[in-house]
Structure 1
Amino acid sequence: DFSSDAVGVILAANEIGGRHGLGMSDQIENRIIEAKSRGIYEAPGMALLHIAYERLLSAIHNEDTLAAYTAEGRRMGRLLYEGRWLDPQTLMMRESLTKWVASAVNGSVTLRLRRGDDYTIVNTEGDGFSYHPEKLSMERTDDEAFGPTDRIGQLTMRNLDIQDTRAKLDLYRQQGQLDGGQFDLT
């Protein structure tokens, strides 16, 4: 259990990911000075943690939240690359991503690693998932809440999304992020 040891998590992830050649990247990138450069990067631990974290994000949050997370993450990444760690816009993005996206992420992901970026996600478990295989399955057709023959799928999906949003609001309220159901704008 590495829950209180962030350095231990990175070291273990580096060892495991490195053993499998995960996280090697050869990139041509735009530098701050408007010139192109080539960089070869190796970050096996970050690649391993990224795969697991993204899997949990996709199981927990809806499509629109994930799109906002991706867009804000790219913007924040660029600001950090430029050394603007403490700019107000960076702080605002970091706070919103941490408060509304990261705070709901929990669970475990089991991966089967082979070589390089060749891996299989074997299992994903956790609380607060928006993914409910017992409610939604495109594989089974007996007694499904939603399946390949469902003609009112959009309405069913919206109802599932609304239920998941309510569950997340309850989680945020329990964490003290919502004060009596009101957003704190101060």
Structure 2
Amino acid sequence: MVKVVLAYSGGLDTSVILQWIRETYRAEVIAFYADIGQGEDVAQIQKKARATGASKVYVEDLQEEFVRDFVYPMFRASSVYEGQYLLGTSIARPLIAKRQVEIARVEGAHALAHGATGKGNDQVRFELAYAALAPELAVIAPWREWHFKGRRDLLAYAEAHGIPVEASPQRPYSVDRNLLHISYESGVLEDPWREPPKDLFQWTTDPENAPNEPDVVELEFERGDCVGINGERFSPCEVLRRLNQLGAKHGIGRVDMVENRFVGMKSRGVYETPGGTILYVAHRQIESLTLDREVMHLRDQLAPKYAELVYYGFWFSPEREFLQSAIDESQQRVTGTVRLKLYKGNVTVLGRKSPYSLYDASLATMEEDDGSYQQRDAAGFIRIQALRLRTEARMRERKSGSQKEARED
């Protein structure tokens, strides 16, 4: 028999896919569930996969690896896709694919399978990772093969085969959750003019209903990574978990955007990223104190490209690894503490300090300084910077004068 390892979530799509692969390919299906902070009952997931026909079920806690080896390197790059999306789903896929490949090799599997739609980004992310890590394995992508037209067809199939699912025609959202974020797509969200329903959000408090008293938090960074909160050190996973609690309490991290998918279409996504939003703001602030201007500006030119690589699925690519090396080098002195206020959906910076601070009060002061900066020197600096502008202005003036004389003649 063909042996297939399926990236299994226990949701509507992969529950139907598990049964469909067994029927269509007469295959033995091994289900792999990666626990990256979905908050689900893993024992129930395992039981459900068995009941749906999986020959074996792997359920693995990858939360620490997820934050340490994927989320933190990405946050060191200060990467945001199209100015809004903190890449919560995108960054999870390479980790799931990596472990899926490892299981396939242990089990002697012939193929890898995923539940990504043929219209979306995840199919690309999974399959580019498979290609980089296990080019010899076949790939089964049911959404590109079967006759089902949409999620309503899947619900009907699940009902016919006795497969329990949480989705329903009344709440047909596609939801992806992990320790970094929750994403919502489809259903009423496919109308970009329509406001997301109040009951859509599962994690964060509505900012209007958030506490009237703020929380002040201090985050400690070492080499670009947050290592402590309010003077207490934590692992990367625990840092994100605690910041999620604080951010969710104050309604931080909601995003509603229309984004450009890699496959060429626009789609509307709604996201909750409470802890990640706090981390992003804090990291930018400690960098503002410790990064050289030209290094920061160069990194900021690279950040959109890095975000694009993650979003498109090129985590296991030489160009992403090249950028990561440069970015990690830039973070060697990104160490210090940032103080933030969390209040009704906002993250407000109150202060920052670092033993590697490049901020020199004696230079920046508007009062009498120590004499190391001579203000008169700025005149020559400005004259040199303005040289090309004056040259162009004179050229335009000569050109205008010549044209005027020609018209008068």
Please classify the TM superposition score into its range, dividing by the shorter chain length. 0.7 to 0.9
Deviation at 1:127, TM superposition (A): 1.3
Find the residue that maps to 2:239 and give its secondary structure: helix
Match of 1:109 in 2: 338
User: Contact 1:27/1:38 (CA < 8 Å) preserved in 2?
Assistant: yes
SS of 1:85's equivalent in the other structure is coil
State the partner residue of 2:108: none
Encode CA deviations 1:117-146: one digit per residue, 9 max, x unaligned: 3x43212111111112233223xx134557
2: CA distance, partners of 1:155 / 1:111: 40
1:150 to 375, 386, 390: 375
Larger radius of gyration: 2
RMSD: 2.4
For the residue of structure 2 that corresponds to 1:104, the secondary structure is: coil
Structure 1 residues not aligned, in runs of 5+ = 157-186
> Percent of aligned pairs with the same residue?
25
> How far did 1:4 drift?
5.1
Whole-angstrom CA distance in 2 between matches of 1:73 and 1:122: 25
1:79 to 309, 312, 317: 309
Distance in 2 (CA, whole Å) between partners of 1:12 and 1:70 is 28
Q: CA deviation at 1:153?
A: 4.8
- Match in the other structure for 2:328: 98
Give the match's secondary structure for 1:103: coil
- Name the CA distance, whole Å, in 2 between partners of 1:20 and 1:146: 45
Opposite residue 271 of structure 2, the aligned amino acid is: Y
Structure-to-structure mapping, 1:37-186, within 5 angstroms: 37-99=267-329, 101-117=330-346, 119-138=347-366, 141-145=367-371, 150-153=375-378
Distance 1:34 1:5, change over 3 A: same
SS in 1 for 2:332: helix
The equivalent of 1:184 in structure 2 is none
Shift of 1:68: 1.3
Compute the displacement of 1:102 (Å): 1.7
* Pair 1:15-2:245 in alignment: yes
Following TM superposition, by how much is the alpha carbon of 1:154 offset from its aligned partner in structure 2, in angstroms? 8.7
Structure 2 stretches of 5 or more lacking a match?
1-227, 382-409
Q: Secondary structure at the match of 2:264?
A: coil
Higher share in strand: 2
Count, aligned residues: 151
What does residue 165 of structure 1 align with?
A: none
Per the normalisation by structure 1, the TM-score is 0.73
Determine if contact 1:29/1:37 at 8 Å carries over to the other structure.
Answer: yes
CA-CA distance at 1:150 after TM superposition: 2.8
Question: 2: distance between equivalents of 1:144 and 1:154?
Answer: 20
1:80: how far off? 1.2
- Counterpart CA distance in 2 for 1:145 and 1:98 is 36
Other-structure match for 2:261: 31
CA separation of 1:91/1:154 partners in 2, compared to 1, >3 Å: closer, same or farther? farther
Q: Name the structure, 1 or 2, with higher relative contact order (CA <8 Å, separation 6+).
A: 2
State the distance in 2 between where 1:113 and 1:152 align: 43
Distance 1:48 1:142, change over 3 A: same
Secondary structure of the 1:64 match is: helix
Partners of 1:127 and 1:152 lie apart in 2 by 30
Alpha-carbon distance change, 88 to 3 in structure 1, aligned in 2, over 3 angstroms: farther
Q: Give the 4+ runs in structure 1 shifted more than 6 A.
A: none
Distance 2:326 2:267 in 1: 32
Residue 85 to residue 143, structure 1, CA distance change in 2 (3 Å): closer
Asked if the contact 1:137–1:144 (Cα under 8 Å) also holds between the matched residues in 2, the reply is: no
